[in-house]
């Protein structure tokens, strides 16, 4: 057996990319049933803000977990928890089966990841970590629990804790990490979450349509400019100062300057490099993406606390891989919204900073196929001088390299736009389910991503990478990050998230 | 004449194969030359259109979440030249 792609529909049920679209669209469709007053998503469990001494003095599961809608309020917290587990395990196992995964390993790995994720999620909602001394949706948990101190990190603490736990497992308990790696698929989880983020973008467009369009266009323009600047410079430095061959320099340039692993594989494929090159580069990218994810959100939020959208877009251009970028965007969103609320008592609507990070990255993802195609033409033209046989340009390569989850994300967004323009009467009902799918479902998938991305990141793999590591580090922190920030500033400065009353 | 192949990579060598033909080479150019020699004896002077589909199973499992396709090739071998 081999895995090849010849027809446009090949891979529709066997690749993670497509399964992100299917799973995201399935959850989206479940949420839409609220148009007909059917609550098919409110069963999903969500964590509650709790306080340690309060829980110890009078333990109750209902202090930790609740359903996402009042339609299921009679369910015991453990019922909603195990039902959530069953639904996610079943759906992802179906996907894993079609992708040819080892199902026994998948079920074991996913079960461990699910329970660990929830443990961390609940811990992160302890009031001393999360509660902000301000009123949110009519409640001030800082005052409710009579706290004397709190880190006031909102939901961001859970994200950081999940990442930390994942990294500890991935680097100090490697045997255990190998046992659960079959199900540690951050890209699948995050791409599914991004599809659901299309709902959020749709709702944001309803609220502030011109701003949302502006954000999308600015993201496209910034990504395009970044491509044109980053790639040639990194290629030149790789060739001139690090003496890399053409193929290695091109693959590394795409990996560092565009979108990490997918770009390096796409580029290597386009120029028909030996596949060992993108495999080596990918290892480097995944490890560095972790540094970017950990370091950049706190730096950006502290250096420019009044530039939330610029910060988000800059992450989109700097942090490689969709998973790490979305994770960094989510941390930045939580950190900046919480900090702004704490400092000014003014509450930015959450999700805009994350959307800025995601939109920039999505444009970058979309451009990968086109950029690779351009490179393929250049390489084929160049090779024509040497070879006797006529090689044709294959247009379908653009489609095979196109990220399919983006289609689902756009579909969800445009469907909300269509509702807004053509069926405004159903929008408020659609939002009931939509708020849960883009809220609890998406956040749970983000939590799974954080833990999984930590589990698969093994820092020891940097050993022996030599000059590639040096070039990557120099290019990233000395060039890509500052220039990416400048480009983000040029296209996004002045944009601010809406303020919630 | 249309001939389809699967393309893969092992031990630093490209491998191009179908049910009846298998060639290896350090580079894709070498693969093409090796195929041309076989085609010359098999198809005489008839032009041969070749499709090569890279087998993505070569990539480690964890890479497949980032990208699921490497490349395909379409070539025409004009055996007269």
pLDDT digits (tens, 9 = 90+) for B29-69: 999 999 999 998 888 778 899 999 999 999 988 888 888 89
Q: Quick one: which H or E segment has residue A308?
A: helix A308-318
CB contact under 8 A, A1 and B74: no
Q: Could you tell me which chain A residue has the CA closest to the CA of B50? A: A391
DSSP A498: P
- Asked whether the beta carbons of A192 and A445 are under 8 A apart, the reply is yes
- For A50-82, the pLDDT digits (tens) are 999 999 999 999 999 999 999 999 999 999 999
pLDDT of amino acid A63: 95
A152 vs A134: CA distance, rounded Å = 10
pLDDT of amino acid A345: 87
- Judge whether residue A41 has pLDDT over 90: yes
Average pLDDT, chain A: 90
User: Structural domain of residue A222, as residue ranges?
Assistant: 16-500
Q: Between A137 and A316, whose confidence is greater? A: A316
- For A69-127, the pLDDT digits (tens) are 999 999 999 999 999 999 999 999 999 999 999 999 999 999 999 999 999 999 999 99
CB contact under 8 A, A401 and B67: yes
- Judge whether residue A2 has pLDDT over 70: yes
Sign of CA dihedral A280, A284, A285, A290: positive
B57 vs A48: CA distance, rounded Å = 44
CB-neighbour burial class of residue A73 (10 A; exposed 0-12, middle 13-18, buried 19+): exposed
Facing residue for A389 by CB, picked from B51, B67, B77: B77
Answer yes or no: is A4 within a domain: no
CB contact under 8 A, B72 and A181: no
Confidence of residue A46 (pLDDT cuts 50, 70, 90): very high
- Residue B64 with chain A: CB contacts under 8 Å: 15-16
Q: What percent of chain A has pLDDT over 90?
A: 52
- For A392-440, the pLDDT digits (tens) are 888 888 888 888 999 999 999 999 999 988 999 999 999 999 999 999 9
A124 vs A47: CA distance, rounded Å = 9
pLDDT of amino acid A383: 66
Interface contacts (A, B; CB < 8 Å):
114
CA distance B34 to chain A (A): 12
What is the secondary structure of A245-304 as a DSSP string? -HHHHHHHHHHHHTTHHHHHHHHHHHTT--THHHHHHHHHHHHHHHHHHHHHHHHHHHH-
- For A449-459, the pLDDT digits (tens) are 999 999 988 88
For strands B22-25 and B13-17, give the pairing: antiparallel
- Asked whether the beta carbons of A428 and A35 are under 8 A apart, the reply is no
A43 vs A83: CA distance, rounded Å = 8
Distance of CA A98 to the CA centre of its chain: 23
For strands A65-67 and B48-54, give the pairing: unpaired
Confidence of residue A212 (pLDDT cuts 50, 70, 90): confident
Residue among B52, B70, B74, B81 with most chain A CBs within 10 A, to mutate: B70
CA distance B43 to chain A (A): 16
The ipTM of this complex is 0.91
CB contact under 8 A, B76 and A392: yes
Answer yes or no: is A8 within a domain: no
- Judge whether residue A165 has pLDDT over 80: yes
pLDDT of amino acid A497: 92
Averaged pLDDT, A187-203: 92
- Asked whether the beta carbons of A193 and A449 are under 8 A apart, the reply is yes
What tokens appear for A477 in the block?
């922190």
Q: What percent of chain A has pLDDT over 70?
A: 98
C-alpha distance from residue A353 to each of A55, A161, A359, B48 (Å) = 34, 21, 10, 55
pLDDT of amino acid A384: 60
Chain A 374-393, residues with CB within 8 Å of chain B CB atoms = 376, 383, 386-392
- For B20-35, the pLDDT digits (tens) are 999 999 999 999 999 9
Sign of CA dihedral A256, A262, A266, A268: positive
Residue located via tokens 């698969």: A456
C-alpha distance from residue A97 to each of A90, A192, A372 (Å) = 10, 17, 31
- Residue B39 with chain A: CB contacts under 8 Å: none
CA distance B70 to chain A (A): 5
pLDDT of amino acid A26: 98
- Residue A376 with chain B: CB contacts under 8 Å: 71
C-alpha distance from residue A357 to each of A42, A119, A256, A365, A492 (Å) = 28, 27, 17, 12, 11
Torsion of CA A351, A356, A357, A361, to 10 degrees: 130
pLDDT of amino acid A117: 97
Q: Could you tell me which chain A residue has the CA closest to the CA of B36? A: A389
pLDDT of amino acid A252: 87
Residue among A476, A460, A479 nearest A468 (CA): A476
DSSP B80: T
- Asked whether the beta carbons of A434 and A34 are under 8 A apart, the reply is yes
- Residue B12 with chain A: CB contacts under 8 Å: 274, 276
Confidence of residue A381 (pLDDT cuts 50, 70, 90): confident
Answer yes or no: is A366 within a domain: yes
- For A280-338, the pLDDT digits (tens) are 888 888 888 888 888 999 899 888 999 999 999 999 989 888 888 998 999 999 889 98
pLDDT of amino acid A386: 61
Facing residue for A275 by CB, picked from B9, B64, B76: B9
- Looking at chain A, how many residues does it have? 501
What is the secondary structure of A164-188 as a DSSP string? HHHHHHHHH-HHHHHHHGGG--HHH
pLDDT of amino acid A436: 96
- For A217-264, the pLDDT digits (tens) are 998 998 888 888 888 988 998 899 888 888 889 998 888 877 788 889
CA distance A78 to chain B (A): 32
- Residue A270 with chain B: CB contacts under 8 Å: 71
Facing residue for B65 by CB, picked from A188, A268, A270: A188
Q: How many domains does chain A have?
A: 1
Facing residue for A388 by CB, picked from B12, B68, B81: B81
For strands B2-10 and B48-54, give the pairing: parallel
CB contact under 8 A, B6 and A4: yes
Residue located via tokens 């910034």: A222
- Judge whether residue B80 has pLDDT over 80: no
């Amino acid at each position: 057996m081999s895995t090849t792609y010849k027809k446009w529909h090949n891979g529709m049920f066997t690749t993670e990319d497509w399964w992100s679209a299917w799973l995201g669209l399935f959850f989206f469709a479940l949420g839409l049933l609220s148009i007909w007053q059917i609550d098919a998503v409110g069963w999903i469990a969500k964590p509650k803000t709790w306080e340690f001494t309060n829980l110890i003095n009078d333990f109750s599961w209902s202090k930790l977990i609740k359903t996402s809608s009042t339609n299921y309020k009679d369910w015991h917290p453990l019922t909603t928890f195990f039902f959530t587990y069953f639904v996610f395990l079943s759906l992802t196992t179906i996907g894993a089966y079609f992708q040819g995964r080892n199902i026994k390993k998948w079920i074991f790995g996913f079960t461990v990841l699910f329970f660990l994720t929830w443990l961390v999620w609940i811990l992160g909602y302890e009031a001393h970590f999360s509660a902000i001394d301000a009123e949110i949706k009519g409640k001030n948990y800082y005052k409710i629990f009579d706290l004397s101190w709190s880190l006031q990190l909102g939901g961001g603490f859970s994200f950081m804790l999940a990442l930390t736990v994942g990294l500890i497992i991935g680097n100090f308990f490697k045997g255990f990490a190998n046992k659960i790696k079959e199900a540690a698929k951050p890209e699948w989880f995050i791409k599914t979450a991004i599809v659901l983020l299309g709902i959020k973008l749709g709702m944001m467009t309803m609220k502030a349509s011109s701003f949302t369009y502006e954000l999308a266009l600015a993201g496209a323009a910034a990504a395009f400019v970044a491509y044109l600047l980053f790639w040639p410079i990194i290629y030149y430095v790789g060739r001139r100062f690090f003496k890399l061959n053409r193929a290695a320099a091109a693959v590394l340039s795409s990996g560092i300057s565009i979108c990490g692993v997918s770009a390096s594989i796409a580029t290597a494929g386009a120029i028909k490099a030996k596949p060992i090159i993108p495999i080596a580069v990918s290892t480097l990218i995944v490890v560095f993406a972790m540094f970017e994810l950990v370091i950049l959100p706190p730096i950006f939020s502290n250096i420019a606390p009044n530039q939330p959208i610029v910060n988000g877009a800059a992450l989109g251009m700097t942090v490689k891989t969709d998973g790490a970028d979305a994770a960094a965007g989510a941390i930045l969103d939580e950190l900046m919204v919480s900090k702004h609320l704490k400092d000014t008592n003014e509450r930015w609507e959450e999700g805009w900073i994350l959307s800025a990070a995601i939109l920039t990255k999505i444009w970058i993802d979309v451009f990968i196929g086109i950029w690779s195609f351009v490179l393929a033409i250049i390489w084929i033209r160049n090779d024509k001088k040497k070879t006797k046989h006529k090689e044709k340009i294959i247009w379908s390569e653009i489609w095979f390299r196109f990220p399919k989850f983006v289609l689902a994300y756009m579909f969800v967004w445009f469907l909300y736009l269509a509702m807004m323009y053509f069926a405004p009467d159903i929008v408020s009902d659609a939002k009931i389910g939509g708020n849960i799918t883009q809220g609890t479902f998406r956040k749970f998938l983000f939590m799974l991503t954080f833990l999984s991305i930590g589990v698969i990141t093994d820092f020891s793999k940097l050993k022996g990478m030599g000059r590639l590591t040096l070039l990557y580090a120099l290019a990233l922190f000395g060039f890509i990050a500052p220039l990416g920030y400048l480009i983000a500033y040029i296209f996004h400065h002045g944009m601010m998230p809406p303020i919630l009353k | 004449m249309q001939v389809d192949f699967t393309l893969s990579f092992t031990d630093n060598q490209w491998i191009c194969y179908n049910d009846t033909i298998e060639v290896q080479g350090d580079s894709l150019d070498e693969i093409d030359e090796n195929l041309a020699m076989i085609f010359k004896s098999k198809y005489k002077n008839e032009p041969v259109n070749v499709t090569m589909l890279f087998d993505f199973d070569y990539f480690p499992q964890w890479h497949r979440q980032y990208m699921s396709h490497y490349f395909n090739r379409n070539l025409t071998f004009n055996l007269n030249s």
